[in-house]
Amino acid sequence: MLKVLNKNIYLFILFFLLLLLCYFYLMIGISSFSVLEVWNVLTNNKLISGTQFVVGDVRFPRVIIGILCGAMFAMSGSLLQCVLRNPMAAPDILGVNSACSLFILLFTFFIPNSFAFSNLIYAACGGCIGFFVTILSSLENKRINQTRLIIVGVAVGALFKACCQFIIMQSDERQSSLVSFLTGTLYHSSWNSVQQIIYPACFLIFITFFLYRQLDILLLSEETSSSIGFKVTKWKVIVILLALMLASVAVSGSGSLGFIGLIAPNIAKILFGYSHKYNLFGSCLIGATLTLLSDLIGRIIFPPYEIPAGLVSIIIGAPYFLYLMKNIGRYK
Amino acid sequence: MRALSNNSILNTKKFFLIYFFCIFLLIILFLYSLSLGPVYLSFEKVLQACFQSEDTFERRLIVETRLARTIMACLVGSSFAVAGVMLQSITKNPMACPSLLGVTQGAGLGIVVILALFPFCPLPVYLSCAVVGGIIASLLTYIVAVSVGISPLRLILAGQAINALLYALTQAILIFLPTRAGVILINLNGSVAGANWQQLTYVAPVLILLILIAIFNIKNLHILSFGKDVASSIGLRTEFLIAFFLFIIVLLCASSVSLAGPILFFPLIVVHFSKFVVGENPTHLLPFSIVFGAILMLFSDCLMRVVFANQEVPVGFFIALVGAPILILSSRMKRLLKNA
């Protein structure tokens, strides 16, 4: 549809928008700062302790976590939609996110003394289990029924979510921050949590970008791709595992942000077409932008209170989901 | 499925046998629920307290705290069950369930909104807001479903998206109600713990009236379940009847939600189990599911109270744990695939 040059320009515009949004995000809030003040903090110039604290230690980690998690959810959605050939597939729709949250909660509840990257490992286990429960229960004659896949995913999600709520009710007050895993929020971001997820996140995102050729081939019919010597099953498994890892790292960073993994890839498809070379970058940038935007809206709409980013993203995403359902015929 | 259709030719004698057994079970559960609590009372004492007019400690304990909870659990269970049966007969969709089409979540949102605006509003206002919320949500689902095309799976998908939206809105509003949020949050997961006589006296007559209306309309429901064409060829005003039934469903759900909160999957479980036992004929299904709904709700409430004796665990959790697999199974039913 679009020429290559145009796509590059689109990507650049998106990137620029994201940067602008970040800067804006750092500026406004309950206490707002001027452009110059934020710039001074970012360049370590003329430090004022109050501004330094709010912008550098409270908002900046939040921006990083927001961008990383949004990008990862979006990428995970892209991969799943490609492999399952279902435009409504996404980690939160397929029950992966709630399974990750459940496992994180379970293990932090029963094994309080956790080691460095424990959350990531728990989340990864949970994500795999959730995904395979969903896939196994939607199989029919060894094929996946597309509409049923979504319903089963929603049901599995509800199941794991009920377990999560149950565990939260059992836990005492000091673990009340665990509640955030259910709705998804950037509220608890700190430099510590950035340290936890930044290496695996960058690594996974980096790897995924190199897979764009394989992803493009996966979009073809199975006969075509195997006739050119492409090992379909092997790559499918790799891509699915990658998607699950992306989702679980994202969940351990920000909790389950609803609908980001669903909307971002679909917007990217509209803007950049189906070729994954641009599509992946696009969906990444859009996911990050949407997440930051949801958090920003949640933060500034009713100042003393904060609406978690996960709720805002559901409120934005659900209508889009309905719109998508209406047009799903066109994708097949 | 063949086993099910054979079951529906269940003879009347057998049906009454099952029915009476269930009522017997319900009575036992009722008494058991009265005996449960921080102070355990034996069956004898419960019976004594119920049938003697002396003003003893046990009598007060039972009448003032436990009886309301027990009656409420029965009523809410039955009315959710009736709503589920009616909805499935109308839509001919084995996955239809008011809690999956946004009706209960909408009623919950209505309640939260009115509590946010007027924290101490009188009960009738509270109830009518739940009804308004339920009606708006079901209209929304209906509009979306029509524009998306009503296939059984898609209807549920649309309902789920609207459910998610309403859930997010509810949670967002709850953030502004820090003081009462804890109480409401428990209630929003579905719990009968907040029972009191004051609420019950308002809502119970409404619920009983609605259930009676449903029972008197069994014949129409039965005819509707054969499809619109059959119904209109007999001379029924199908459009009017469907709208009327939908209104009753919303009223039933909204009133139950105002008592016990939106309990996800509950009607689905009741209807599927009842279908398994007595078949799909509404004349058997409706009365059976009324009793079975009450039994299931009482049973889950008792179970939660026994297993987690020293804290209040909402019934909704247990129901969701049982209900999600049933939703998955029902989406796999062969009959559905033919329609889809």
Q: What is the 3-state secondary structure (H, E, C) of B5-45?
A: HHHCCCCHHHHHHHHHHHHHHHHHHHHHHHHCCCCCCCHHH
In terms of CA atoms, which chain A residue is nearest residue B158?
A322
Q: Give Cα B30 to chain centroid, integer Å.
A: 18
Indicate the pairing of strand A139-140 with strand A143-144: antiparallel
Of the candidates B315, B226, B326, B234, which has an alpha carbon nearest to the alpha carbon of residue B273? B326
Minimal CA separation from B217 to chain A, in Å? 32
In terms of CA atoms, which chain B residue is nearest residue A152?
B328
Of the candidates A64, A85, A95, A65, which has an alpha carbon nearest to the alpha carbon of residue A244? A95
Residues A120-140: tens digit of each pLDDT = 888 888 888 888 888 888 877
Query: Does residue B328 belong to the interface with chain A, where contact is any CB pair within 8 Å?
Result: yes
Residues B100-143: tens digit of each pLDDT = 888 888 888 888 888 777 777 777 787 888 888 888 888 888 88
The kind and range of the H/E element at A139 are strand A139-140
Which residue carries 């459910």 as its tokens?
A: B163
Which residue carries 């959790």 as its tokens?
A: B317
In the predicted model, is pLDDT for residue B335 greater than 70?
no
In terms of CA atoms, which chain A residue is nearest residue B322?
A159
CB within 8 Å: A318 and B324: no
Both tokens assigned to A30 = 């309950």
Q: Determine the Cα–Cα distance for residues A57 and A66; give it in Å rounded to an integer.
A: 14
The kind and range of the H/E element at A140 are strand A139-140
CB within 8 Å: B168 and A314: yes
A267-294: average pLDDT: 85
Average pLDDT, chain B: 79
Query: Does residue B156 belong to the interface with chain A, where contact is any CB pair within 8 Å?
Result: yes
A95-109: average pLDDT: 84
Q: Give Cα A95 to chain centroid, integer Å.
A: 13
> Using a CB-CB distance cutoff of 8 angstroms, which residues of chain A are in contact with residue B322?
none
| Cβ-based neighbour number of residue A126 at 10 Å | 28
Instruction: List the single residue in B265, B317, B331 with the smallest CB-CB distance to A165.
Output: B317
> Using a CB-CB distance cutoff of 8 angstroms, which residues of chain B are in contact with residue A154?
157, 160
Residues A155-186: tens digit of each pLDDT = 888 888 888 877 777 766 555 566 666 777 77
Q: Which domains does chain A have, with CATH numbers?
A: 1-51+257-332 (no CATH), 76-175+200-256 (1.10.3470.10)
Q: Per CB distance under 8 Å, which residues of A are interface residues toward B?
A: 137, 140, 147-148, 150-152, 154-156, 158-159, 161-163, 165-166, 169, 183, 258-259, 302, 305-308, 310-312, 314-315, 318-319, 321-322, 325-326
Q: Dihedral (C-alpha) B172, A159, B79, B301: value to the nearest 10 degrees?
A: -100
**Domain for residue B288, yes or no?**
yes
Q: In the structure, what pLDDT confidence band is assigned to residue B4 with cuts at 50, 70 and 90?
A: very low
CB within 8 Å: B167 and A314: yes
Q: In the structure, what pLDDT confidence band is assigned to residue B78 with cuts at 50, 70 and 90?
A: very high
Which residue carries 């027990």 as its tokens?
A: B70
Instruction: List the single residue in B168, B321, B324 with the smallest CB-CB distance to A311.
Output: B168
Query: Does residue B251 belong to the interface with chain A, where contact is any CB pair within 8 Å?
Result: no
Q: What is the pLDDT of residue B185?
A: 55
CB within 8 Å: B169 and A315: yes
Q: Determine the Cα–Cα distance for residues A180 and B50; give it in Å rounded to an integer.
A: 46
Q: What is the pLDDT of residue B339?
A: 43
Q: What is the pLDDT of residue A56?
A: 74
For A85-145, where are the alpha helices, taking DSSP H only? 96-110, 118-138
Minimal CA separation from B185 to chain A, in Å? 11
Q: Determine the Cα–Cα distance for residues B163 and B172; give it in Å rounded to an integer.
A: 14
Q: What is the pLDDT of residue A332?
A: 37
Residue B180 domain boundaries? 73-339
Q: What is the pLDDT of residue A323?
A: 80
Q: Among B143, B328, B336, pick the best mutation site for testing chain A contact (most A Cβ within 10 A).
A: B328
In the predicted model, is pLDDT for residue B54 greater than 80?
no
CB within 8 Å: B168 and A319: no
Q: CA distances (Å), A294 to each of A66, A67, A191, A220, in order?
A: 10, 12, 21, 35
Q: Which CATH number fits the domain that encloses residue B162?
A: 1.10.3470.10
For B175-279, where are the alpha helices, taking DSSP H only? 178-188, 197-216, 218-224, 228-234, 238-260, 266-278
Q: Determine the Cα–Cα distance for residues B107 and B110; give it in Å rounded to an integer.
A: 5
For B95-227, where are the alpha helices, taking DSSP H only? 103-117, 123-148, 152-174, 178-188, 197-216, 218-224
CB within 8 Å: B157 and A152: no
Q: Give Cα A170 to chain centroid, integer Å.
A: 28
Instruction: List the single residue in A302, A308, A325 with the smallest CB-CB distance to B154.
Output: A325
Instruction: List the single residue in B144, B324, B332 with the smallest CB-CB distance to A322.
Output: B144
CB within 8 Å: A154 and B160: yes
**Long-range CB pairs of B179-182, under 8 A, 24+ apart, other chains included:** B180/B115, B180/B119
CB within 8 Å: B172 and A159: no
In terms of CA atoms, which chain B residue is nearest residue A317?
B165
pTM higher than 0.95? no
Burial of residue A205 (number of CB atoms within 10 Å: 0-12, 13-18, 19+): middle
Both tokens assigned to B55 = 């003003």
Query: Does residue B144 belong to the interface with chain A, where contact is any CB pair within 8 Å?
Result: yes
Q: CA distances (Å), A63 to each of A58, A76, B77, B309, in order?
A: 9, 20, 47, 44
Domain count, chain B: 1
